[in-house]
Amino acid sequence: MTLSDLSPVEVSRRLGGGGLTIRTGPFNFRIVSGIQSVAEGLAALYSDYPLADDHEFVDFTVTLARSRGLRRWWRPQVKFTYDGQSPFAPLPVDHAFPLLEWAMNWCISTQAHQYLCLHAAVIEKKGLAAIMPAPPGSGKSTLCAGLVSRGWRLLSDELTLISLTDGLIVPLGRPISLKNESLDVIRQFVPGAVLNRVTHDTSKGSVSHMKVPVSHVNRLNDQARAGWVIFPKYVPDAGAELTARSKANSMLELGRNAFNYTVLGLAGFEMLADVVSASDCYDFTYSRLDDAVSVFDKLAEGRSA
Amino acid sequence: MRSLLAQVWAQPNEQPAWTLSKWETVLGQARQARLLGRLARHYADHHWLVTVPKQPRQYLEGALRLIERQHHEVQWETLCIRRALMGVDTPVVMLKGAAYFVAGLPPRHGRLFSDIDIMVKKECLPEVEGALFRHGWISEERDAYNQRYYREWMHEIPPMTHVQRGTVIDVHHTITPPTSRFKVDGARLLECAVAIDGWEGVYVLAPVDMVLHSAVHLFQEGEFSHGLRDLLDINDLLLHFGTDAGFWGALFARARDLGLGEPLFHALHHTQRLFGTRAPQESAQALQDIRPNWITRQLMSALLNRALQPLHPSCDEPGSNLARWLLYIRSHYLRMPWYLIVPHLTRKAYMRYFPKNGKAAMNADQVVR
């Protein structure tokens, strides 16, 4: 059963009651919220995701509720609560949906130490994954959205999860976050893209999320092996260009971009070393998505799993 | 639903039979009470982990990884602190978690750390602060009011954060605020401090003082989000030290001596209620002597029964929040005279609603950069 099997009324009823339980990659989330934009966002972006059965274990229960008190009437706010704890400052109530996405990422990156968790987008072709770590503003999500619309499979836009037991990359498959100029770039590049309602004036500017193609969602159990580590950078008017990057430096930079590298200690170090050893490492500059796609496709042709 | 967690340590050798949905609740309670590491350690030590279903087990194993890492850090931090304070003429007494850690006491197992607490001679405070500053710890408290609050009214200086490692250290000169009803002279504690083998210059409080500190801390700090954890620490200490002949007698004598009978009474009442640990028969009279009056007992027990539950939705009962709030107010009332409390709490409430720039809580999007 997927979310689209439920009527909008039923979605709202579950969200406002005991919670709506969605399976995304290896995690079950129970989402509790009476806020309409949350229901709308979920209906728009998560319709193809399986719902967890009642007897299944739920990894994270997240609640988004309107703040109480006088603020209810004067600039209403939304508060995120996880297990009775509210780690973040409340936001204006119309930021509820992006807050949900950020909060879900926060749950995973702070709790899921069964994975080495990198702050990086990750996509797959022919069983091989391209890990793309990058600081904000480097065009990582835009590139990820572009490639995912042209034959690459989305594993994750934000968190690369590497299993500590077998070193395989586990798909998370959640919607791709886009912001500001990249919204228009993707609307043009992917005419059929489904984006949810844009939220303006967040601390990241205007943000929206792109729906993941259903064929990708249906393959959330298919893991991938690391094939490339690519550090993308958007440079206006530049051609698409790959340059080799040393493995040692790539490893350092990946470690810096890992949420729980230090928690995992030696296990994290060894895992990262294995990932980097198995990968070709590059810096990648680009300005046009079409050029980027052909460079990536050429990479994939050159190797097979 | 009552705390499922407390049952684990009430019958420590019986493995609870939890369904997946119970596990969900237990993990949530444990996260909130900062007992996830303890729970994981308990399961690992009893060789029960293999029997736990995969999904909850992953989070227990994750907690074990986190503990291991944190214990390396505490060890390293303690070495750094000792080195920084080498030239200062004071014993460096580790308090609470760090003390259990360096002294190898049972509460160290599975313990997660947020900061390190130390105690030094009061007259050495400026020198200690200077030495820590030279070794990279700075006070991030910029607010003049808060600086004054700590320095004039508290038993510690504002927390200091290491510029590179981000670790936090709280420097105390005694265990209760000078304005407190339970005022304790730090020098009397330092007299009895115990040196730690293999850690030159590093001390911990004497066993009875350690228990009394935990007790007064639990009921005076007013932060019950990890009250159950703190009570479990006390329980561990009682079980550990309680086997020494003379411990219990010395504990009651010291409590009377330092004027900490009431917090000790409450601590013993609740360790008995939740974990079944009781003072030996021969201490019955001593326990009787520190007993507060009937009304205080009833009231405190009603409040603490609620507040000592994990701060988790599954443990919410009618009155839980009110109980915590009343204990919070009470903790301030114990710590300061009313003419200091009223303006202080008013200001705190105001600051919570209208934080100054830069003091606001973290935003969600800053976490996933």
Last residue of a domain, one of A95, A111, A127: A111
Asked whether residue A153 falls in the same domain as residue A194, the answer is: yes
Q: Please check the confidence at residue A149 and state whether its pLDDT lies above 70.
A: yes
Tell me whether residues B365 and A89 touch, CB distance under 8 A. Answer: no
Contact B115/A at CB under 8 A: no
The more confident residue out of B78 and B225 is B78
Asked whether residue A257 falls in the same domain as residue A208, the answer is: yes
Average pLDDT, chain B: 87
Please tell me the least confidently modeled range out of A196-205, A254-263, B295-304, B337-346. B337-346
Contact A56/B at CB under 8 A: yes
Asked whether residue A231 falls in the same domain as residue A129, the answer is: yes
Tell me whether residues B62 and A112 touch, CB distance under 8 A. Answer: yes
Asked whether residue A166 falls in the same domain as residue A34, the answer is: no
pLDDT at B364: 53
Eight-state DSSP code of residue A29: E
In chain A, what residues touch B63 (CB-CB under 8 Å)? 113
How far out from the chain centre does Cα A258 lie?
Answer: 15
Asked whether residue A128 falls in the same domain as residue A233, the answer is: yes
With beta carbons less than 8 A apart as the criterion, state whether B332 and B341 touch.
Answer: yes
Q: Please check the confidence at residue A28 and state whether its pLDDT lies above 60.
A: yes
pLDDT at A31: 96
Tell me whether residues A106 and B69 touch, CB distance under 8 A. Answer: no
User: Of B294, B299, B319, which Cα lies nearest the Cα of B309?
Assistant: B319
Tell me whether residues A58 and B364 touch, CB distance under 8 A. Answer: no
Q: Closest chain B residue to A87 measured between Cα atoms?
A: B362
Supply the Cα-derived Rg of chain A in whole angstroms.
19
Q: Mutation test of the interface with chain B: which of A91, A114, A117, choosing the one with the most B Cβ atoms within 10 A?
A: A114
In chain B, what residues touch A110 (CB-CB under 8 Å)? 367
Last residue of a domain, one of A111, A128, A151: A111
Q: Please check the confidence at residue B369 and state whether its pLDDT lies above 90.
A: no
Domain count, chain A: 2
Tell me whether residues B365 and A263 touch, CB distance under 8 A. Answer: no
Q: How far apart are CA A119 and CA A140, in angstroms?
A: 11
Span A40-84, pLDDT tens digits? 999 999 999 999 988 899 999 999 998 876 666 677 888 999 988
pLDDT at A71: 63
Average pLDDT, chain A: 92
Name the pLDDT band for A201 (thresholds 50, 70, 90): confident
pLDDT at B138: 92
Q: How far apart are CA A70 and CA A77, in angstroms?
A: 10
What range defines the domain where residue B54 resides?
Answer: 4-366
Contact B53/A at CB under 8 A: yes
- Mean pLDDT (whole number) for B119-135: 93
Q: How far apart are CA B158 and CA B160, in angstroms?
A: 6
Asked whether residue A97 falls in the same domain as residue A119, the answer is: no
User: Of B220, B308, B239, B320, which Cα lies nearest the Cα of B3?
Assistant: B308
How many residues are given for chain A? 305
Q: How far apart are CA A47 and CA A51, in angstroms?
A: 10
Q: Closest chain A residue to B28 measured between Cα atoms?
A: A83
Q: How far apart are CA B174 and CA B95, in angstroms?
A: 10
Name the pLDDT band for A111 (thresholds 50, 70, 90): very high
pLDDT at A157: 94
Contact B366/A at CB under 8 A: yes
Q: Please check the confidence at residue A139 and state whether its pLDDT lies above 90.
A: no
Q: Please check the confidence at residue B140 and state whether its pLDDT lies above 80.
A: no
Q: How far apart are CA A205 and CA B316, in angstroms?
A: 38
> What burial class does residue B106 get, using C-beta atoms within 10 Å of its C-beta: 0-12 exposed, 13-18 middle, 19+ buried?
middle
Tell me whether residues A159 and B368 touch, CB distance under 8 A. Answer: yes
Give the burial string for B196-209 (b: 16+ CB within 10 Å, else e). Answer: beebeebbbbbbbb
pLDDT at B219: 78
Q: Please check the confidence at residue A272 and state whether its pLDDT lies above 50.
A: yes
pLDDT at B352: 66
Q: Please check the confidence at residue B255 and state whether its pLDDT lies above 80.
A: yes
In chain A, what residues touch B32 (CB-CB under 8 Å)? 83-85
Tell me whether residues A57 and B365 touch, CB distance under 8 A. Answer: no
Q: Mutation test of the interface with chain B: which of A56, A111, A157, choosing the one with the most B Cβ atoms within 10 A?
A: A111
Q: Closest chain B residue to A117 measured between Cα atoms?
A: B368
Q: How far apart are CA B19 and CA A117, in angstroms?
A: 28
How far out from the chain centre does Cα A287 lie?
Answer: 22
Name the pLDDT band for B358 (thresholds 50, 70, 90): very low
Reading the block at residue A204, the tokens are 């990241």
- Strands ordered across the beta sheet of A199-202: A176-179, A205-210, A199-202
In chain B, what residues touch A136 (CB-CB under 8 Å)? 369
Other C-beta atoms closer than 10 Å to the C-beta of B312 total 23
Distance (Å) of CA B253 to CA B175, B178, B249 = 18, 22, 6
Please tell me the least confidently modeled range out of A72-86, A262-276, B236-250. A72-86
Please tell me the least confidently modeled range out of A220-234, A280-294, B168-182, B245-259. B168-182
In chain B, what residues touch A98 (CB-CB under 8 Å)? 365
Name the pLDDT band for B210 (thresholds 50, 70, 90): very high
Name the pLDDT band for A304 (thresholds 50, 70, 90): low
Q: How far apart are CA B58 and CA B261, in angstroms?
A: 43
Tell me whether residues A57 and B366 touch, CB distance under 8 A. Answer: no
Whole-prediction pTM: 0.89
Cβ-proximal residues to B243 (8 Å cutoff; 6+ apart), any chain: none
Q: How far apart are CA A232 and CA B278, in angstroms?
A: 63
Collapsing DSSP states into helix, strand and coil, what is residue B34? Answer: coil
In chain B, what residues touch A59 (CB-CB under 8 Å)? 55
In chain B, what residues touch A267 (CB-CB under 8 Å)? 65
Tell me whether residues B24 and A204 touch, CB distance under 8 A. Answer: no
Backbone angles phi, psi at A207, to 5 degrees: -125, 150
Distance of residue A298 Cα from the nearest chain B Cα, in angstroms: 31
> What burial class does residue A141 get, using C-beta atoms within 10 Å of its C-beta: 0-12 exposed, 13-18 middle, 19+ buried?
buried
Torsion-angle region of residue A137: left (phi > 0), alpha (psi -120 to 50) or beta? left
Contact A102/B at CB under 8 A: yes
Task: State which amino acid sits at residue A202.
Answer: T
Distance of residue B259 Cα from the nearest chain A Cα, in angstroms: 35
Which H or E run includes A82?
strand A77-82
Collapsing DSSP states into helix, strand and coil, what is residue A201? Answer: strand
pLDDT at A202: 86
Name the pLDDT band for A253 (thresholds 50, 70, 90): very high
Beta-bridge partner residues of A225: A128
Contact B69/A at CB under 8 A: yes
Strand bridging mode A60-66 / A27-33? parallel
User: Of A43, A24, A59, which Cα lies nearest the Cα of A97?
Assistant: A43
pLDDT at A88: 86
Last residue of a domain, one of A91, A111, A131: A111
In chain A, what residues touch B361 (CB-CB under 8 Å)? 87-89
Eight-state DSSP code of residue B350: H
Tell me whether residues B32 and A91 touch, CB distance under 8 A. Answer: no
What range defines the domain where residue A221 resides?
Answer: 115-303
Q: How far apart are CA A133 and CA A130, in angstroms?
A: 10
- Mean pLDDT (whole number) for B63-68: 94
Asked whether residue A144 falls in the same domain as residue A204, the answer is: yes
Tell me whether residues A102 and B368 touch, CB distance under 8 A. Answer: yes
Contact B24/A at CB under 8 A: yes
Contact A105/B at CB under 8 A: yes
- Mean pLDDT (whole number) for A93-121: 94
Give the burial string for A265-285 (b: 16+ CB within 10 Å, else e). Answer: eeebeebbeebbeebbbbebb
Which H or E run includes A125?
strand A115-125
Tell me whether residues B66 and A158 touch, CB distance under 8 A. Answer: no
The more confident residue out of B362 and B183 is B183
Asked whether residue A30 falls in the same domain as residue A125, the answer is: no
Asked whether residue A59 falls in the same domain as residue A173, the answer is: no
Asked whether residue A174 falls in the same domain as residue A281, the answer is: yes
Tell me whether residues A102 and B367 touch, CB distance under 8 A. Answer: yes
pLDDT at A210: 94
pLDDT at A70: 64
In chain B, what residues touch A109 (CB-CB under 8 Å)? 367-368
Strand bridging mode A91-92 / A60-66? unpaired
Name the pLDDT band for B321 (thresholds 50, 70, 90): confident
Q: Please check the confidence at residue B348 and state whether its pLDDT lies above 90.
A: no
- Mean pLDDT (whole number) for B133-146: 84
Distance of residue A153 Cα from the nearest chain B Cα, in angstroms: 22
Contact A114/B at CB under 8 A: yes
Tell me whether residues B361 and A114 touch, CB distance under 8 A. Answer: no
Q: Please check the confidence at residue B142 and state whether its pLDDT lies above 80.
A: no
Q: Closest chain A residue to B21 measured between Cα atoms?
A: A57
In chain B, what residues touch A202 (CB-CB under 8 Å)? 365
Reading the block at residue B82, the tokens are 């000792």
Asked whether residue A235 falls in the same domain as residue A277, the answer is: yes
Name the pLDDT band for B359 (thresholds 50, 70, 90): very low
* Residue carrying the six token digits 């791709």: A176
Torsion-angle region of residue A108: left (phi > 0), alpha (psi -120 to 50) or beta? alpha
pLDDT at B2: 58
* Residue carrying the six token digits 């329980």: B235
Domain count, chain B: 1
| Angle at the Cα of A119 from the Cα atoms of A118 and A125, rounded to 5 degrees | 75
Give the burial string for A162-183 (b: 16+ CB within 10 Å, else e). Answer: bebeebebbbbbbbbbbbeebb
Q: Closest chain B residue to A98 measured between Cα atoms?
A: B365
Asked whether residue A94 falls in the same domain as residue A138, the answer is: no
- Number of CB pairs, chain A paired with chain B, less than 8 A apart: 92
Name the pLDDT band for B361 (thresholds 50, 70, 90): very low
Inter-helix orientation angle B338-353/B320-335, to 10°: 130
Reading the block at residue B25, the tokens are 């609740």
| Predicted complex: ipTM over 0.85 | yes
Reading the block at residue A24, the tokens are 């995304």
Q: Please check the confidence at residue B108 and state whether its pLDDT lies above 60.
A: yes
Nearest to A80 among B32, B63, B364 (CB): B364
